[in-house]
Amino acid sequence: MTLSKWQVTIKPNSVLTNKSEIVVQCMKSQKYLKQKGISGFSQTYIPIDLNTEAMIITTAEKSAASKFHSHREGSFRYIMSGAYKISYKENNKTKSVVLEKDDWIYIPRKVKYSSEVIKAVRIMHLYCVTNCE
């Protein structure tokens, strides 16, 4: 296994956990792997290279919110627990959807969206680098 910029590259037949020595080493070397996000969102980066820009677990308490913004890459989000509302711009109209446990959403790159936590939430994000659009 090798350490890249801030991710561990997976080699064939290698099992990794958050307790694997190389993962612990990677996480200790990167102070931004655990950080406070926007308006009460907390993020933990998972430093595994799965051909994604980043894999992140986000947690937030009820009423945490983000303003409309976009990303340079697409993102896939899987709701692990809780509920939150995503509002997004599509064809110059604002649309909204409430996502709950086991729901998911894909937000293409450069699409503006905002979010509001309805019930304390835990979300897995995968930010895409290739083959997303």
CB under 8 Å to 3, separation ≥6 — which residues? 9, 22, 25, 26, 29
Q: How far apart are CA 7 and CA 66, in angstroms?
A: 27
114 in a structural domain: yes
Tell me the per-residue pLDDT of 78-127, one tens digit each, with 9 for 90 and over: 999 999 999 999 888 999 999 999 999 999 888 999 999 999 999 998 87
- Residue 55 and residue 48 in contact, taking contact as beta carbons nearer than 8 Å: yes
Q: How far apart are CA 57 and CA 62, in angstroms?
A: 17
52 in a structural domain: yes
56 in a structural domain: yes
pLDDT (0 to 100) of residue 42: 75
For residue 123, give the CATH number of its domain. 2.60.120.10
pTM above 0.75, yes or no: no
Full residue range of the structural domain in which residue 53 is found: 33-128
6 in a structural domain: no
3 in a structural domain: no
In the three-class reduction of DSSP (H, G, I as helix; E, B as strand; rest coil), residue 61 is classed as coil
48 in a structural domain: yes
When pLDDT is cut at 50, 70 and 90, the band that residue 33 belongs to is very low
Q: How far apart are CA 100 and CA 45, in angstroms?
A: 22
